[in-house]
Amino acid sequence: MSYFSTFILTLIILISSFYVGAHESWEPTVYSSINAHAPTPLPDRVVLTWEEDPATSQSVTWRTDATVKRGLAQLAVASANGRAMEPNSFRATTIYLKSDINEANYHSVTFRNLEPNTLYAYRVGDGVNFTEYYHFKTANKNDEPFSFIYFGDAQNEVRTHWSRVFREAFRDAPRAAFTLHAGDLVNRKYSDSEWGEWHEGPDWVNGTIPVIATPGNHEYLNYDDRSKELYWTDKSGNDIEISLVSMSKKTLSLGNVYKVSFQQKEGNVVNMEVGETGIIEKVDDGLEAVSGFKAEEIVGKNLYKSPLFARQREVPSLSEHWRAQFAFPIQDIPDPKLSETVYFIDYQGARFISLDSNSEKEIQVKWLRQVLESNPNRWTIVTFHHPVFSPGSDRDNPEIRQLWKPLLDEFKVDLVLSGHDHTYARTGSIDFEGIKNIPEGYEKAFDPSIGTVYVVSVSGPKMYKITKGAFAKNMIENTQLYQVIDINNSRLRFRAFKATGELHDEFLLQKREGKSNLLIETINGDA
């Protein structure tokens, strides 16, 4: 090898070493959520909902930054020759929202006087900057077959885990009429980043398949507000003003345990260890000094259902993002606070009713009766977040069972869809003989003379244990699921799929003249 060749080879090695060394010293940096989820002048978070009749109207909402003062939507009957479309323009209603990371304007348009069973093309923007064109199809006025997808809680790690569940569901039901979400769409109601991640999962699908949603407790409460003041009750029944001052998590072989410190107004401190499901596992001596309760009177009980807990000082309030980004029906409801959380939608022979299980449950009873009595549809499906029958020992909801179930029974509601419990449990015909340790009323979780099927499901990665699932026909824990429901005249087909696309549960409901529904178990191919 010549001297020159040797020189060149040495130079190449030195340069390569320099670049390799530079590469090895590089470290990634966290991309700010403010930057990742900040609005721009270009529309994002496009979502279809219904404010009025799905056969003759369609609502759409989208977001821009606050510099865009006007929203505009354009709509035309869809054509195979896109250049032949002649869109009409519609001025949007605009709402300003200052979130925890930015300022934005949310724009909303309701297209009215549409033709039933017709495919439309639309886009949204400000008159200059527009999205691409989306399609949506209006409902048929008649009782035509359709499908929809039902999701339980997405809530945590939405971008990492729930998005794949949604996309797997869309693979199974790309022609679904809409998606139904049973609450806890996000974990922190005020987190703009989490709402952004929730929209990212469906992405453009929310702009072409409408959304029906009912709020969960995480759309109401600020769980991360460490300065939130609480009221406890001492053993004599007196109020104690207490503040949550710290919370840390430690992971054990049996799961997560939270070390929690509370401080009395006078300065006394109570330290506890609380499990993932809210069960108090350990308390220090400060508890008796503050409240009069001994440790053995409190340990083993749910913190928020124990004799210690009285009430939260803060009145739960709905996420400010809810009404800004969704346009649900504004109907004659008993309290304005329930606007766009309590409503019904009629779709091709089925009435879908959303109740708000977080707030003012008693005053919804009269409204629910009216909506059930006036229902002209063959099918009735009700959704609310907290289940009538819970598979978790510390998560029972007797108030809902006492207030709402008698009406669900009286009108033989077909299907009730809930979330909250981060498991899957579905009622059906079982032998209750010998079943113990279940709350009152669970022995009739499925009554063949009524025929209502109750389902609790979860689509996100947060999971709880099944501790009293004996009432359920089918149940599973530690599993993310989605559900596809097909309605065809007098038959409803329900299928629950795992996140990986495997069928987990299936049943049919068959309408019978003058009788309750016939429940047919089909998971083993019986029908």
Judge if 391 and 510 occupy the same domain. yes
pLDDT digits (tens, 9 = 90+) for 294-316: 888 888 888 777 777 754 444 57
- Token pair 């869109």 in the structure block, residue: 87
Tokens 């606070």 locate to 337
* CA dist 100 → 69, 95, 158, 190, 320 (Å): 21, 16, 18, 7, 11
Q: Which amino acid is at 35?
A: N
Same structural domain for residues 386 and 269? no
pLDDT the model gives residue 527:
43
The pLDDT value given to residue 356: 97
Please name the residues in contact with 295: beta carbons below 8 A apart, sequence gap of 6 or more: 282, 283, 287, 288
CATH number, domain containing residue 51: 2.60.40.380
Residue 190 lies in a domain: no
Q: How far is CA 84 from CA 76, 78, 103, 121, 251, in A?
A: 10, 9, 38, 12, 61
Domain span at residue 268? Answer: 229-312
Estimate to the nearest angstrom the gap between the alpha carbon of 227 and the chain centroid: 26
Strands 503-510 and 518-521: antiparallel
- Domain annotation covers residue 107: yes
Q: Which phi and psi angles does 473 have, rounded to 5°? A: -75, -35
Q: Are residues 238 and 365 in the same domain?
A: no
Looking at 249-344, list the stretches that DSSP marks H as alpha helix, in order from N- to C-terminal side: 286-291, 295-298, 320-325
My answer on whether 376 and 511 are in the same domain is yes
Q: Is residue 526 part of a domain?
A: no
What is the number of structural domains in the chain? 3
Q: Tens digits of per-residue pLDDT, 401-433? A: 999 999 999 999 999 999 999 999 999 998 766
Residue 117 shares a structural domain with residue 52: yes
Q: Is the domain of 299 the same as that of 413?
A: no
Do 458 and 368 have their domain in common?
Answer: yes
**What are the angstrom distances between the C-alpha of 219 and each of 213, 215, 222, 316, 341?**
11, 6, 8, 9, 11
Same domain, 247 and 391: no
According to DSSP, the β-strands at 178-181 and 146-151 are parallel
> Who contacts 189 (Cβ-Cβ below 8 Å, separation ≥6)?
218, 219, 220, 221, 222, 318, 319, 320, 321
User: Does residue 379 sit in the same domain as residue 278?
Assistant: no
Residue listed under structure tokens 């998560």: 395
What pLDDT, on the 0 to 100 scale, is given for residue 50?
A: 98
**What per-residue confidence (pLDDT) applies to 236?**
82
476: CATH: 3.60.21.10
Low-confidence residues of the chain, pLDDT below 50?
A: 225-229, 311-314, 525-527
Integer Cα distance of 71 and 123 in angstroms: 11
Domain boundary among 282, 312, 342: 312
235 and 351 within one domain: no
Alpha helices per DSSP H over 279-339: 286-291, 295-298, 320-325
Q: What is the pTM of this model?
A: 0.81
Phi-psi region of 224 (alpha: psi -120 to 50; beta: other; left: phi over 0): alpha
Shared domain for 491 and 350, answered yes or no, is: yes
